[in-house]
Structure 1
Amino acid sequence: MSTLRVTAEELTVHEHPNADALEVAQVGLYRAVVAKGVYRSGDYALYIPEQAVLPAALIEELGLTGRLAGSAADRVKAVRLRGELSQGLVCRPAVLAGVDLERAAKEGTDFAELLGITKWSPPVPTTMDGDVMAAPELLPWVDIENLQRYPDVFEAGEPVVLTEKLHGTCCLVTYLAEDGRVLVASKGFGAKGLALKEDERNVYWRAVRGHGVPEVAARLAARLGATRVGIFAEVYGRGVQDLAYGTDVRTAEAPPGYAVFDVSAEIDGQVRWLDPAQVLEEGELPLVPTLFEGPYELATVLERASGRESVSGRGLHLREGVVIRPAVERYSPVVGGRAIAKAVSPAYLTRKGGTEYE
């Protein structure tokens, strides 16, 4: 999941193609349906992104009682309104009446705490839970920001690689070369500096053992001369999320689906991000599918983000989206970290009965 920030943004307002009383306010590459006549292009307003959880008072003020997602009807989720995809909320809460929103936009002020808005945390099924232990040596994963919120992460023509974004659960593995220990965590536990104690019932440990990840990590550490190696993968299948890619984690006949999307290594005291396709030998571990390598163009990214999944080789269901990264790892001043972003399929965002477990 990307980080939650509630910021003031400059709007570009478009006509709604299917509704006379509605318009579409654009923020970056996001588009949110709004009432007609409330905003004009060049206006500044607050943008509340998807996965934000709103307090009851704000929901009532915005006239959204009973209209948001989740069991408490308090979570912002992408919806289609009269055929147009609406992602996030554009508003001007009364508490900000005296605030210079244009200045706040330029300064990047985050209003989440002031408004009592928090980030939604997905539930954790028992197969993904377990006993934990402190793991300060764990190599952590980072949140990937959405390209629609940060469209300037990449420049037109920059060499990039697009890989398929899978709908599973993120599995973090850290191999410690000094003593051969293996630390396994979910993204949620890893963010807290915790690792899961080994348990044959746990889906992460089942995937890690079933695909021989510790042995691969040990060989990789030796090849790189690394003191720590981090292998980051998506664990997937029926029993994990609603998109299963033809795999069922509920049976013991085969390990859960597992696809590596990133590798990091501590070499000479410095942690480096590495391309799995370049540092892993062919067939050592399953990798997420590469969908495109070439010059960056927004149209290409959005086209590849939609369609059918390619993991199973049979196009069993829709694709979640893509992850974009430069061909050569670099820093991005736009996001203040790695130059990496995701683009998500509109069909994925608005599917019915979808699960979003951590």
Structure 2
Amino acid sequence: MSTLRVTVEELTVHEHPNADALELAQVGLYRAVVAKGAYRTGDFAVYIPEQAVLPEGLLAELGLTGRLAGAAANRVKAIRLRGELSQGIVCRPRALTGVDLARAHRDGTDLAAELGIVKWVPPVPISMSGDVEPAPDLLPWIDIENLKRYPTAFPEGEPVAITEKVHGTACSLTYHAGDDRIQVTSKGLGAQRLALAEAPGNLYWRAVHGHGLPKVAAELAGELGASRVGIFGEVYGDGVQDLGYGTDGRRGVPGYAVFDIAVADGDGVRWLDPQELTRVLDGRLPVVPTLFSGPYEAQRVRELAEGRETVSGRAVHLREGVVVRPLSGRHSTELGGRAIAKMVGDAYLTRKGGTEYE
């Protein structure tokens, strides 16, 4: 998931092609449906992104009581309104009356706490949960921001790899070379520096042992001279999320695909570049499909985010989206960290009966 930030943004307003009383307010590459005449291009307004949970008072003020997603009808989700995709909410809450919106935009002020907005945390199925233990020396993964919010994160022409985003649940394994120890966790628990106690029915441990991750991690530590190796992959299959890729995740060995590797030594933590990752694994573990490798083109990314998945080899359902990273790793000032971002497909966002476990 992306980081939840509620910020003031400068709008670009477009005509709605299918509704005389509506318009489209653009933030980055996101577009939100708004009432016609409410805003003009160049205006500043608050942008509330997807996965935000709104308090009752703000829902009532915006006329959205009972109209959003989730059991409590208070969660922002992408929808189509009169045929146009609307992602997020554009508004000017009364709580910000008197606030210099232009200055808040320049400062990048996060208004989530002031407005009582929190990030939605999906419920965790029993197969993905379990007893946990403190793990301060884990190598955790990071939140990946959406290119629609940060459209200039990659310059046109930069050499990049575009991989398919697999709809499963992220599984992290950290191998400690000093005492031949492994720690396994999910993305959400890893962010809290918690590891899952080994249990035969746990989904993550079934994937770890079923695909032989401990052995591969130990081999990589020796080959790369690392004190710790982090292998990050997506566990998938029927019973894991609503898109199963034709794999049974309920019994036996669920599907698994590596999307990142980190190695730690005396100089800190290093993330393997895309081509290095494929080379050092040398077929020992399945890897997420690479859809394109070459010069970055924004239009190509948008096109590749849509269509059918390639994980199963049979295109059994739609594609979730893509992840973009440079062929040579670097820091991104715009993203505030590692240069890596995602784009989620419009068809995926508006599918029926979707699940979003971390």
Are positions 1:273 and 2:271 aligned together?
Answer: yes
Residue aligned with 1:157, SS: coil
SS in 2 for 1:299: helix
User: Which letter does structure 1 place at the counterpart of 2:318?
Assistant: L
CA distance in 2, matches of 1:95, 1:337: 32
User: What's 1:215 paired with?
Assistant: 215
Amino acid at match of 2:161: V
- The residue that corresponds to 2:155 in the other structure is 155
TM-score, normalised to structure 1, is 0.98
Give the aligned partner of residue 328 of structure 1: 328
Partner of 1:305: 305
Structure 2 residue corresponding to 1:263, chosen from 236, 261, 264: 261
1:108 equivalent in structure 2: 108
Deviations 1:324-356 (A, max 9, x none): 000100000001100000000000000000011
Alignment deviations for residues 285-326 of structure 1 (CA, whole Å, 9 cap, x no partner): 000000000111110000000000000011000000000000
After the TM superposition, list the runs of 4 or more consecutive aligned residues in structure 1 that deviate by more than 3 angstroms.
none
Q: Which moved more, 1:205-214 or 1:95-104?
A: 95-104
Q: Secondary structure at the match of 2:63?
A: coil
Task: Indicate if the aligned counterparts of 1:276 and 1:287 stay in contact, CA closer than 8 A.
Answer: no
Asked if structure 2 preserves the Cα contact closer than 8 Å seen for 1:260 and 1:276, the reply is no
Q: Deviations over 1:145-167 (max 9, x none)?
A: 00000111100111110000011
> Unaligned stretches of 5+ in structure 1?
none
Could you say which residue in structure 1 is the equivalent of 2:316? 316
3-state SS of paired residue (2:283): coil
Indicate the residue corresponding to 1:140 in structure 2: 140
1:244 aligns with 2:237: no
When the two chains are superposed, the root-mean-square deviation of aligned CA atoms in Å is: 0.8
Match of 2:56 in 1: 56
- Structure 2 matches for 1:185-204, cutoff 5 A? 185-204=185-204
Aligned equivalents of 1:353 and 1:4: distance in 2?
Answer: 23
Counterpart of 2:32 in structure 1 is 32
- What letter corresponds to residue 272 of structure 2 in structure 1? L
SS of the aligned residue for 2:127 comes to helix
Note the C-alpha offset of 1:277. 4.6
1:129 aligns with 2:129: yes
Q: Deviation of residue 268 (structure 1)? A: 2.1
Q: In structure 2, what is the Cα distance between the partners aligned to 1:125 and 1:190?
A: 17
Q: Is the 8 A contact 1:263 1:276 kept in 2?
A: no
Give the match for residue 355 of structure 2: 355
Cα drift, residue 264 of structure 1: 0.2
Matched ranges for 1:46-85 at <5 A: 46-85=46-85
SS of the counterpart of 1:188? helix
Pick closer, same or farther for the CA change 1:179–1:276 going to 2, 3 Å.
farther
* CA shift digits 1:237-257 (9 cap, x unpaired): 0010000011011122xx110
For 1:276 and 1:219, locate their aligned partners in 2 and report how far apart those are by CA, in whole Å: 19
Contact 1:10 1:42 in 2 (8 A): yes
3-state SS in 2 of match to 1:207: helix
Instruction: Report what 2:232 is aligned to.
Output: 232
Contact 2:233 2:259 in 1 (8 A): yes
Work out whether residues 161 and 274 of structure 2, in 8 Å CA contact, stay in contact via their aligned partners in 1. Answer: no
Listed one character per residue, the Cα deviations across residues 109-135 of structure 1 (whole Å, up to 9, x for unaligned) are 110000000000011000000000011
Q: Deviations over 1:165-195 (max 9, x none)?
A: 0110000000000001000000111011100
SS of corresponding position for 2:257 = strand
CA contact (8 A) 2:236 2:244 kept: yes
SS of aligned partner of 1:175: strand
Provide Cα deviations, 1:69-123, integer angstroms capped at 9, x if missing partner. 0000000000000000000000000111101111110000110000000000011
* Aligned equivalents of 1:344, 1:149: Cα separation in 2: 12
**Contact kept? 1:174, 1:182, Cα under 8 Å:** yes
Distance 1:105 1:269 in 2: 37
Cα deviation, residue 276, structure 1: 5.7
In structure 2, C-alpha distance between the alignment counterparts of 1:171 and 1:159, rounded to whole Å: 28
Give the residue type in structure 2 aligned to 1:165.
K
C-alpha contact 1:224 1:267 (8 A) present in aligned 2? no
Residue type matched to 1:134 in 2?
Answer: P
Identity %: 69
The number of residue pairs the alignment matches comes to 356
The one-letter amino acid of 1:20's match is D
* Structure 1 residue aligned with 2:179: 179
Q: In 2, Cα distance between the equivalents of 1:128 and 1:337?
A: 29
Q: 1:228 is matched by which residue type in structure 2?
A: R
Give unpaired runs (5+ residues) of structure 2: none
